[in-house]
């Protein structure tokens, strides 16, 4: 049985005071156990504080990006080994904001995914179509291209210790959540693609939905066969909103 993962992507938000109150609130309010894992993705400067607050807890943490190079003259960048040094379990790869605002290509995303795996981090590969692509009936072609770039590099075995997040770009930060039917259809497409390569890996692969998930829509989304949790942006910045999503898991 796949465990549900509810992952909070804080993006470029936070202060030390906010990190303290958010994490203390999550620690106080999340019931341990059940079939749910929680994870948070703070900005780099708050990883040390996150590690200090969460290290004895069941809540995991990760980073929002990494540079695929091990070390060297890359001013402003952060490597996989640095993330491990701060106890990260996960790292996002190919979030749509990285792809659109910072020009990360499919090949760049594959580089990051590969470097994360090699270091022992669990990458969360983000894929998803723009509104224009959906309206042109290109959703499956786009998602297929984004997955294939990583599969060609790392093979299906690269997904034994990885997560996929389907995040339609038009639903991120817009309040326009994909309907459970729309999301399930793409999740099934993704799982079928993996199933054609390795049915065991496909059966174990966690596929998260991301795009305006909140306490009111999470239960319907997470009830779908191929939706194994959520990657949550805005609603992960408030204790009660994030816990409402966590508590929506049946
Ligand atoms: C995200 O940042 O991955 C995301 C899904 O954001 P939001 O929940 O705010 O749409």
Tens of pLDDT, residue by residue over 116-160, are 999 999 999 999 999 999 999 999 999 999 999 999 999 999 999
* Ligand 1 geometric centre to CA of 119 (Å): 26
Give mean pLDDT, residues 90-108: 98
Q: Give the residue, by CA position, lying nearest to ligand 1 atom 6.
A: 233
Q: Residue 91 forms beta bridges with which residues? A: 63, 123
* Residue 17: how many other CB atoms lie within 10 Å: 8
User: Ligand 1 in contact with 111 (CB < 6 A)?
Assistant: no
pLDDT exceeds 90 at position 95: yes
pLDDT exceeds 80 at position 33: no
* Ligand 1 geometric centre to CA of 11 (Å): 9
Q: pTM to 2 decimals?
A: 0.97
Give mean pLDDT, residues 45-49: 98
Please say whether the beta carbons of 239 and 227 come within 8 A.
Answer: no
User: Ligand 1 in contact with 210 (CB < 6 A)?
Assistant: yes
Alpha-carbon span 67 to 247, nearest angstrom? 34
User: Ligand 1 in contact with 97 (CB < 6 A)?
Assistant: no
pLDDT exceeds 90 at position 83: yes
Q: Give the structural domain span for 98.
A: 4-249
The per-residue pLDDT for range 170-207, each reduced to its tens digit, is 999 999 999 999 999 999 999 999 999 999 999 999 99
Average pLDDT value for the chain: 97
Structure-token pair, residue 242: 């994030």
- Give me the CATH number covering residue 55: 3.20.20.70
Select from 7, 40, 91, 172 the residue to mutate for testing ligand 1; criterion: most ligand atoms less than 8 Å from CB.
172
The per-residue pLDDT for range 200-238, each reduced to its tens digit, is 999 999 999 999 999 999 999 999 999 999 999 999 999
- Residue 30 confidence class, pLDDT cut points 50, 70, 90: confident
User: Ligand 1 in contact with 104 (CB < 6 A)?
Assistant: no
Alpha-carbon span 91 to 122, nearest angstrom? 6
Active site residues: 95, 167
Nearest to 128 by CA among 116, 142, 141: 142
Structure-token pair, residue 109: 């995303």
Output the pLDDT for position 162.
98
Output the pLDDT for position 1.
84
Q: Residue 210 forms beta bridges with which residues? A: 231
Alpha-carbon dihedral sign for residues 142, 153, 230, 104: negative
Strands 36-41 and 90-93: unpaired
Helices 139-154 and 180-195 sit at what angle, rounded to 10 degrees?
A: 40
3-state secondary structure of 123: strand
The minimum-distance atom of ligand 1 relative to the CA of 97 is 2
DSSP state of 164: E
Output the pLDDT for position 198.
98
User: Ligand 1 in contact with 211 (CB < 6 A)?
Assistant: yes
- Please count the structural domains in the chain: 1
Output the pLDDT for position 44.
98
Please say whether the beta carbons of 59 and 89 come within 8 A.
Answer: no
Select from 232, 237, 244, 245 the residue to mutate for testing ligand 1; criterion: most ligand atoms less than 8 Å from CB.
232
User: Ligand 1 in contact with 232 (CB < 6 A)?
Assistant: yes
pLDDT exceeds 90 at position 34: no
Q: Give the residue, by CA position, lying nearest to ligand 1 atom 3.
A: 233
The minimum-distance atom of ligand 1 relative to the CA of 174 is 10
């Amino acid at each position: 049985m796949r465990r549900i993962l509810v992952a909070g992507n804080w993006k470029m938000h936070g202060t030390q005071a906010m990190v303290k109150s958010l994490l203390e609130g999550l620690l106080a309010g999340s019931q341990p156990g059940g079939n749910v894992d929680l994870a948070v993705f703070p900005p780099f400067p708050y990883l040390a504080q996150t590690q200090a607050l969460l290290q004895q807890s069941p809540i995991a943490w990760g980073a929002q990006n990494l540079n695929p190079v091990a070390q060297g003259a890359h001013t402003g960048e952060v490597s996989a080994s640095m993330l491990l040094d701060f106890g990260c379990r996960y790292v996002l790869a190919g979030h749509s904001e990285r792809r659109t605002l910072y020009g990360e290509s499919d090949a760049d995303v594959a580089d990051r995914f590969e470097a994360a795996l090699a270091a022992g981090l669990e990458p969360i590969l983000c894929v998803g179509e723009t509104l224009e692509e959906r309206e042109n009936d290109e959703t499956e072609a786009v998602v297929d291209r984004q997955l294939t770039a990583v599969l060609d590099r790392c093979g299906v075995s690269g997904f034994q210790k990885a997560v996929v997040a389907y995040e339609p770009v038009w639903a991120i930060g817009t309040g326009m959540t994909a309907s459970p039917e729309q999301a399930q259809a793409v999740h099934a497409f993704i799982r079928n693609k993996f199933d054609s390569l390795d049915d065991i890996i496909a059966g174990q692969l966690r596929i998260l939905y991301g795009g305006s998930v909140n306490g009111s829509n999470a239960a319907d989304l997470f009830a779908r066969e191929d939706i194994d949790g959520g990657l949550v942006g805005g609603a992960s910045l408030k204790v009660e909103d994030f816990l409402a999503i966590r508590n929506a898991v049946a």
